[in-house]
């Protein structure tokens, strides 16, 4: 194989039929029996980066696949329609035409997993992506704090769905977790799920504000019982965002939920994932804990704004043997 040819991405890694989460009754016995061995989880998370070494064309192939998992995101107070349009253009063609040709991957037609924006930018993103199958994800429910009145949070979801958001990233009320009020959390997330209709719901736990891994584990289970299609670590606005111990905790709850219900629930780490090498660690952990079926965009996403640029830079290095300047791989 020529050096500049990446290996096939193995688009259909598993033929297991996806059974979307319909939710279940709140099982408090299950919730309260859920524990998290913090020291063991941290020890396992610390070792994952040293257990696997992915090199050369195999690394390039994994990075190409990682692009398809990215929810390319802009959530800034100074967002404009033009910025969102540029982001959508980058999402449709995430790798430069020159590099795509040199890698020999034109036929793969690589795109990002979704474009993620505030509600005000949903219409702009939907219009910019109308000729693609890239979904628009809207952050909702008083993002990032989730402290607006419940009726307004529900209205916000419905309005984003009405204007074309195919995915809704909701935030939970952290106080319900911190107070151990699992019934209130369940009812809240269930009401958000109903408002989402046919749009997929990603439940953001804001794990950096939940105090313990046990709280993270129990909140994960409750959100899945309430019908979440994905569980997501963070808004990206907390002091502590996605970490490997949190990821391991959430992945194991997804696995337990699947084993007990048969429902597939996706996972989305978000916040602070900006380097290609970090993305590879997350992919390795997902593969180890959940298997190849979860290494598809319908069950795994990265919430990121700068990760794509570093992946493109690493692919350029694979192709030429030299690192290019960061400015060559901008978002638009």
Q: What percent of the chain shows pLDDT beyond 70?
A: 92
> Looking at the 3D structure of the chain, how many domains does it have?
1
In contact, 13 and 222? CB cutoff 8 Å: no
Residue 10 lies in a domain: no
Residue 4 lies in a domain: no
Dihedral sign, CA of 306, 148, 208, 224? negative
In contact, 7 and 58? CB cutoff 8 Å: yes
Q: Decide if 232 is catalytic.
A: yes
- pLDDT one-digit tens code per residue, 55-76: 789 999 999 999 999 999 999 9
pLDDT at site 215:
98
Residue 16 lies in a domain: no
In contact, 280 and 310? CB cutoff 8 Å: no
pLDDT at site 285:
95
Residue 268 lies in a domain: yes
**Is residue 16 pLDDT above 80, yes or no?**
no
Domain harbouring 325, CATH code: 3.20.20.70
Written as six digits, the tokens of 330 are 């901008």
Whole-prediction pTM:
0.92
Dihedral sign, CA of 253, 259, 260, 266? positive
Q: Decide if 5 is catalytic.
A: no
Residue 17 lies in a domain: no
Q: Give the structural domain span for 306.
A: 28-329
Residue 18 lies in a domain: no
> Could you say which of 268, 278, 310, 316 is catalytic?
268
Q: Decide if 310 is catalytic.
A: no
> Could you say which of 65, 71, 169, 310 is catalytic?
169
Residue 22 lies in a domain: no
Q: ω into residue 220 within 30 of 0, thus cis?
A: no
DSSP letter for each residue of 126-174: HHHTTTS-PPEEEE-SSTTTT-S-HHHHHHHHHHHHHTT-SEEEEE--H
Q: How many CB atoms lie within 10 A of CB 92?
A: 17
pLDDT at site 326:
65
Contacts (Cβ under 8 Å, ≥6 apart) of 144: 171, 206, 235, 236, 237, 238
Residue 23 lies in a domain: no
> Could you say which of 71, 232, 278, 310 is catalytic?
232
To which H or E segment does residue 277 belong? Answer: helix 276-290
pLDDT band for position 327 (50/70/90)? low
């Amino acid at each position: 194989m020529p050096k500049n040819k990446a290996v096939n991405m193995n688009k259909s890694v598993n033929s297991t039929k996806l059974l979307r989460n319909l939710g279940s009754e709140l099982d408090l016995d299950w919730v309260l029996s859920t524990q998290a061995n913090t020291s063991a989880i941290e020890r396992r998370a610390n070792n994952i980066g040293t257990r696997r070494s992915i090199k050369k064309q195999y690394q390039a192939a994994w990075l190409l696949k990682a692009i398809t998992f990215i929810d390319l995101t802009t959530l800034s107070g100074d967002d404009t329609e033009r910025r969102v349009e540029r982001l959508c253009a980058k999402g449709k063609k995430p790798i430069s035409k020159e590099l795509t040709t040199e890698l020999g991957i034109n036929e793969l037609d690589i795109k990002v997993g979704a474009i993620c924006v505030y509600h005000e930018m949903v219409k702009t993103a939907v219009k910019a992506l109308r000729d693609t199958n890239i979904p628009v994800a809207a952050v909702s429910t008083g993002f990032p704090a989730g402290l607006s009145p419940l009726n307004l949070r529900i209205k916000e979801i419905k309005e984003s769905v009405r204007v074309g958001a195919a995915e809704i990233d909701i935030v939970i009320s952290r106080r319900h977790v911190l107070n151990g009020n699992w019934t209130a959390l369940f009812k809240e997330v269930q009401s958000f799920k109903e408002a989402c209709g046919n749009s997929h719901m990603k439940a953001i736990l804001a794990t950096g504000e939940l105090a313990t891994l046990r709280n993270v584990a129990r909140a994960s289970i409750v959100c899945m019982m309430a019908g979440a299609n994905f569980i997501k670590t963070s808004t990206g606005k907390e002091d502590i965002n996605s970490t490997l111990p949190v990821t391991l905790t959430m992945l194991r709850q997804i696995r337990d939920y699947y084993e007990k219900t048969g429902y597939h629930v996706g996972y989305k780490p978000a916040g602070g994932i900006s380097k290609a090498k970090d993305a590879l660690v997350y992919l390795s952990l997902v593969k180890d804990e959940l298997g190849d079926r979860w290494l598809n965009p319908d069950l795994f996403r990265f919430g990121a704004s700068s990760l794509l640029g570093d992946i493109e830079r690493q692919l350029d290095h694979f192709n030429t043997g030299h690192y290019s300047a960061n400015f060559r791989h901008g978002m638009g």
